[in-house]
């Protein structure tokens, strides 16, 4: 089974989050060429979907991954994001290793 990386980052209140996640995905693929990369922006969710439904879908996707990479932006939005906090807790429950995107360089 191919190893997978889940991308975590602030979405709510971030107008250009799709662009940010796309750049993060490209950076991750440059460094982890043999891994599958799972982005919340590509799970079939829409901006108007119910928050709890989105979190359910995202957490289910996260649980199938071996690693989680957090988009640790300059403004610290990821630290304020309830979704990121829940993903960190879920990763901890399932022994999913967490990496900060900044260790791979800026996006």
CA-angle at 34, arms to 28 and 37, nearest 5° = 45
Specify whether the CB–CB gap between 38 and 61 falls below 8 A: yes
- The tokens of 79 are what? 């630290």
Burial of 56 (0-12, 13-18, 19+ CB in 10 A): exposed
What is the reported pLDDT for 61? Answer: 98
pLDDT in tens, 84-99: 999 999 999 999 999 9
pLDDT in tens, 10-56: 999 888 999 999 999 999 999 999 999 999 999 999 988 999 999 99
């Amino acid at each position: 089974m191919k190893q997978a990386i889940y991308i975590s980052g602030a979405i709510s209140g971030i107008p250009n989050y799709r662009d940010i996640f796309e750049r993060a995905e490209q950076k991750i693929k440059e460094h982890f060429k043999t891994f599958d990369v799972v982005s919340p922006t590509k799970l079939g969710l829409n901006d108007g979907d119910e928050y709890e439904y989105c979190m359910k879908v995202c957490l289910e996707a996260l649980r199938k991954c071996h690693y989680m990479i957090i988009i640790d932006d300059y403004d610290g939005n990821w630290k304020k994001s309830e979704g990121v906090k829940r993903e960190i807790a879920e990763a901890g429950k399932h022994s999913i290793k967490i990496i900060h995107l900044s260790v791979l360089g800026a996006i």
